Structure 1
């Protein structure tokens, strides 16, 4: 079997026959051996429609689950049942155009590991969402890209429409929460290439949206769990926490030197800053980058860490002063400067001080895009 199409469904009785018909029409001239797997959690007559279609169409298979466990888990079940070398995941509501299937399959067959139809590259559109849904979708997408390193190059990392070479999931322990299975695949899969195809996402013609506050909460929980399971993403969080602890160490050291030792203010401030840097270095060395493959000794790492930290302080000051000249309040300018210097410090320490050679190679993913949109009809 060349290709398996996995479609999670929940109360989509009016969309089943149209989507099957459009899939067959789209792949009619593609010269591909394919099957269609519906993973169904429906509580209405959808399962009856699916069984009727399955009886007359040898390409259609139905796996009905009586204890509904969510869209993402349905896709994981579909991965296990799929017999194809390649798997394409799409929704049952026809907002994902089946007309894109030949193009997705072509890129997979040509060697691309993951193919993602995207609403957010040139030629794509998310016009099928209302203003509020667009805002919610944007928040979810940005949260994912901030929290998880592997999502940052992907324009539509929360899409439910994607194709992949099934082999990339061989060592992935997929255990998603809620509805965004693609971020689980992108974080845990073993792949090197991603290709994005623009498409226009339009409003559904039948059925109801499954979006809810509960699913948004599940998405947030999913992000937290993926960060905790991803060493490179967990590392940045630890770096920020240790940096915050350094502020506390700095203030305590300053108070001791000024009020107990009665040291000069400037000298006390400099020593307190050095003590905080030393504290940050020790904690980062023992916790944040403990599992890296760096072969540098402490007498190389410590000077590098101090130099990068000093540059970070300079960046904070320069940003604050530059924004102040633009009439931005000093506190806001300082906060922006701290954010920028934190990203700078983490990036440079990761690349130079504790250079994680294996991790850098592991996360090196090539993302390509094309500019030819396909519109839902």
Structure 2
């Protein structure tokens, strides 16, 4: 049976880099189409910079190209989930359109998939074009996640990876609202293998990941795959309670033996502020988990589709066709 490969590309305001990315990824897929059927599915996550118009213009030129447009910007995690839901391949590759992850690595991922691995993920050896603080904070985050998570999550690994059909089907059963895909990839299990590569700098356009969005993503990851912050809040509360009890006992004994001097207002204020701060931090941690429980209880859809043009597929017999037929879809 001929193998089918689906490549899923989440897109949000990447008009500047899309032509270059499309040219490079199609060159790779055409080289693969001599031995397997390939499909390229773009997931437009509510772009407003003309990315949607460019993708629509390309559909008439390539039968292997499909476009899935979401009704608004739902976020990258939801866009990737939408792509997995609509990908038909025996193997599915997800890759960003910013060209920091090289499409030329795709054949290597496929080789390891054919060896029997269900998830083949690309691990960064270096991160070119990024500020020192971002590189160090990212490295620290991955190491913290590795320690806190209930399942081992690969370090320095993004979303660029290949998943087998059974891995994609397993992900489709996980419909939680607060999605940290890097954790979900690890949680489903199955044989997994790392492939190292040097990450390139973004060639065109600007990153959509501000420090605020990265911080929120970090919170998603920690709260989705670890209850350690809640346990930390419990132990921190117990520790401060013991310290407060000991401090109170000290003042009791000092009053009994030395009297009750009036001075002590500054130390009292410091203690009150310290305990108040600890309480607020612990309440904030509990609030983060409670908010996620509240959102999950609503049972909302992960995304809504504006329109969908499915992939026709570039078959081995079409690999050298100048004008492959376009299959209409809805």
Do Structure 1 and Structure 2 share a fold, with TM-score over 0.5?
A: yes
Q: CA deviation at 1:176?
A: 5.4
How far, CA to CA, are the matches of 1:161 and 1:98 in structure 2?
Answer: 10
Q: 1:252 to 1:196 in 2, by over 3 A?
A: same
What RMSD in Å do the two structures reach over aligned CA positions? 3.0
Please name the residue that 2:167 is paired with. 168
How far, CA to CA, are the matches of 1:161 and 1:176 in structure 2?
Answer: 21
* Structure 2 unmatched ranges of 5 or more: 248-330
SS at match of 1:4: strand
Q: CA deviation at 1:177?
A: 4.2
Q: CA deviation at 1:134?
A: 0.9
Please name the residue that 2:186 is paired with. 186
SS at match of 1:28: helix
Q: TM-score, normalised by structure 1?
A: 0.57
Structure with bigger helix share is 1
Q: CA deviation at 1:185?
A: 2.4
How far, CA to CA, are the matches of 2:105 and 2:111 in structure 1?
Answer: 10
Matches within 5 A, 1:247-262: none
Matches within 5 A, 1:94-243: 94-119=99-124, 124-152=125-153, 154-157=154-157, 159-171=158-170, 172-175=173-176, 177=178, 181-187=181-187, 189=188, 191-227=189-225, 233-234=226-227
Deviates more, 1:65-74 or 1:211-220: 211-220
Contact 1:128 1:201 in 2 (8 A): no
Q: CA deviation at 1:84?
A: 0.5
How far, CA to CA, are the matches of 1:90 and 1:65 in structure 2?
Answer: 18
Please name the residue that 1:26 is paired with. 28
Higher relative contact order (CA 8 A, sep 6+): 2
Structure with bigger strand share is 2
How far, CA to CA, are the matches of 1:22 and 1:148 in structure 2?
Answer: 36
How far, CA to CA, are the matches of 2:213 and 2:224 in structure 1?
Answer: 16
* Structure 1 unmatched ranges of 5 or more: 228-232, 256-377
Please name the residue that 2:40 is paired with. 36
Please name the residue that 1:66 is paired with. 71
Q: CA deviation at 1:25?
A: 1.8
Give a deviation string over 1:8-39, Cα, whole Å, max 9, x none.
Answer: 11111232232222122223343221111111
Q: 1:169 to 1:84 in 2, by over 3 A?
A: closer
Matches within 5 A, 1:290-329: none
Alignment partner for residue 55 of structure 2, among 40, 50, 55?
50
Q: CA deviation at 1:251?
A: 8.2
